[in-house]
């Protein structure tokens, strides 16, 4: 076995100390390991376990919660060099990959066989499959095709003490034993290190229709997305953008989205012409403008605007990206209350939402300076979490808990569930070396 590459260069450490949350850990990690195989990951963990050294698994570091930050004394386990697509088996509808594969690369490789890797976080061109699995990432298409968990059939995971365990299976069905695969999905690097994944691929659908429906206000746009569900229409994606977000995108990209209305609902349908016609009717009821396209490049431009929303908002100031989900039927109520929270605390909030599954991203723009988050922004964030729980929702729909939401997680889970989860952590990682202090 070749030796694992290590670095203690300050520039290499600094490049892996932070994620995209803005959370600053205390100090600098001790070293970065760049394994190229499961065996090398095992060796790193065996030594770390013996020495009780904290290990922070890392894919691309795009987490928005502090989950992949690494402070003083930690080893960063950078998995980006384990980036091979090992197998792509069209007949089985399955791919076997290493954790450092970039999500969009897998989707492109599947497309060459008429297949798709469905989960598509807006970060799909920069984030890794391992990171997506560890955060159970959502995305635009999950309104119809599910989140990352729905595409993971089996995992190879190195445990804290260096043992390798394979979970799940390579078949599309299978129910033997407890579902450890699902337990590892979304565990934010705290239960084990994913070194291989067997993933489900789906047929590439027939050409789709994409609608851009503009509305006079966000409440109407949210209500239209709920009306789609009531009319038994299953969009691939239903993305909602408010006025402030449209302004930010227009300013960043030179587009004119805001001209057509104060809120935009992007909806994509792949269920054939009848479903598309019904969607047009439902969306058109209250729209100030309704456009549709089946042209690939026009569709790509519309979706690029949505995927570029976060970078556009980042130009306005420091974003506090919240990530709540509410029952879909309460989406319109949630957007109304978020607007009220923004007014009450006098902070700008840009709201975008994966409306098809009730997942809202109210993004609080917390000034331009680094340092402590202004009190008004923190209070607004607390009110948003409170709102999510009050409406029967959750404090994180897809980004995870990381460092930022641990207190709220305890509240959402309640003492019994929280205690069970702590016991699971102790079972898998008795010395507490895996991404300590995160997620729970």
Applying CB under 6 A, which residues contact ligand FAD? 19-20, 56-64, 67-68, 79, 99, 121-123, 127-128, 130-132, 134-135, 137-139, 188-189, 193-194, 310, 398-399, 435, 438
Backbone angles phi, psi at 85, to 5 degrees: -85, 110
Residue whose CB is less far from ligand FAD, 131 or 162: 131
d(CA 383, CA 136): 25
Nearer to ligand FAD by Cβ, of 25 and 121: the residue is: 121
**Three-state secondary structure string covering 82-127:** CCCEEEEECCCCEEEECCCCEHHHHHHHHHCCCEECCCCCCCCCCC
Tokens matching residue 363: 């993004």
Which lies closer to ligand FAD via its Cβ, residue 152 or residue 290?
A: 152
Q: Shortest gap between Cβ of 274 and ligand FAD (angstroms)?
A: 30
Closest contact distance (angstroms) between CB of 91 and ligand FAD is: 27
CB of 40 to ligand FAD, least distance (A): 13
Question: What are the residues whose beta carbons fall under 8 Å from the beta carbon of 311, sequence distance 6 or more?
Answer: 252
The residue nearest ligand FAD at its CB is 131
Nearest Cα to Cα of residue 19 among 404, 391, 294, 432: 404
Q: By C-beta, is 83 or 208 nearer to ligand FAD?
A: 83
Cβ 376 to ligand FAD shortest distance, Å: 24
Cα separation, 85 vs 102, whole angstroms: 10
- How many helices and strands (H and E) does the chain possess? 14, 19
The least CB distance from residue 303 to ligand FAD, in Å, is 12
User: Minimal distance in Å, beta carbon 429 to ligand FAD?
Assistant: 12
CA 229 to chain centre: 23
Chain centroid to Cα 127, Å, comes to: 9
Q: Which is nearer to ligand FAD, 157 or 381 (CB)?
A: 157
Nearer residue to ligand FAD within complex by CB, 132 or 208: 132
User: Is 364 in contact with 380 (CB distance < 8 Å)?
Assistant: yes
CB 307, min distance to ligand FAD, A: 7
Q: Provide, rounded to whole angstroms, the least separation between the CB of residue 25 and ligand FAD.
A: 13
Contacts (Cβ under 8 Å, ≥6 apart) of 74: 29, 30, 53, 54, 55, 56
Shorter beta-carbon distance to ligand FAD: residue 303 or 334: 303
124's tokens:
């799909």
C-beta closer to ligand FAD: residue 40 or 262: 40
Point out which residues pair with 353 in neighbouring strands.
240, 360
Tokens of 429: 């990682």
């Amino acid at each position: 076995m070749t030796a694992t590459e290590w670095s203690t260069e300050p520039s290499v450490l600094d490049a892996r100390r932070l994620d995209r949350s803005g959370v600053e850990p205390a100090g600098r990690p001790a070293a970065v390991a760049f394994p190229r195989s499961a065996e090398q990951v095992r060796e790193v963990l065996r030594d770390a376990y013996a020495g009780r050294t904290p290990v922070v698994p890392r894919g691309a570091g795009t987490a928005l919660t502090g989950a992949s930050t690494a402070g003083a004394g930690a080893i960063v386990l950078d998995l980006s060099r384990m980036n091979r697509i090992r197998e792509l088996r069209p007949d089985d509808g399955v791919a076997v990959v290493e954790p450092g594969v970039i999500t969009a690369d897998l989707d492109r490789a599947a497309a060459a066989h008429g297949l798709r890797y469905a989960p598509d976080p807006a970060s799909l061109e920069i984030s890794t499959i391992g990171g997506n699995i560890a955060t159970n990432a959502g995305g635009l298409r999950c309104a119809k095709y599910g989140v990352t968990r729905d595409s993971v059939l089996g995992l190879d995971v190195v445990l804290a003490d260096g043992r390798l365990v394979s979970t799940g299976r390579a078949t599309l069905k299978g129910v033997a034993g407890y579902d450890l695969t699902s337990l590892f999905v979304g565990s934010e690097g705290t239960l084990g290190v994913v070194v291989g994944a067997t993933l489900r691929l789906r047929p590439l659908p027939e050409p789709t229709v994409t609608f851009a429906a503009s509305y006079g206000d966000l409440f109407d746009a949210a209500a239209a997305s709920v009306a789609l569900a009531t009319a038994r229409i299953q969009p691939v994606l239903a993305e909602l953008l408010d006025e402030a977000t449209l302004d930010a995108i227009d300013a960043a990209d030179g587009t004119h989205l805001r001209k057509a209305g104060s809120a935009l609902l992007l909806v994509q349908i792949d269920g054939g012409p009848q479903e598309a016609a019904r969607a047009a009717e439902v969306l058109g009821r209250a729209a100030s403008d309704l456009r549709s396209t089946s042209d690939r490049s026009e569709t790509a431009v519309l979706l690029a605007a949505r995927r570029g929303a976060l970078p556009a908002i980042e130009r306005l100031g420091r974003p506090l990206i919240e990530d709540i989900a509410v029952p879909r039927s309460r989406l319109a109520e949630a957007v109304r209350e978020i607007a009220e929270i923004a007014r009450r605390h006098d902070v700008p909030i840009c709201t975008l939402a994966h409306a098809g599954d009730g997942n809202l991203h109210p993004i609080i723009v917390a000034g331009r300076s680094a340092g402590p988050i202004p009190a008004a922004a923190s209070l607004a964030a607390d009110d948003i979490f409170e709102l999510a729980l009050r409406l029967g929702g959750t404090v994180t729909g897809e980004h995870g808990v990381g460092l930022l939401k641990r207190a709220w997680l305890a509240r959402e889970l309640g003492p019994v569930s929280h205690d069970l989860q702590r016991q699971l952590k102790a079972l898998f990682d008795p010395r507490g070396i895996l991404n300590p202090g995160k997620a729970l």
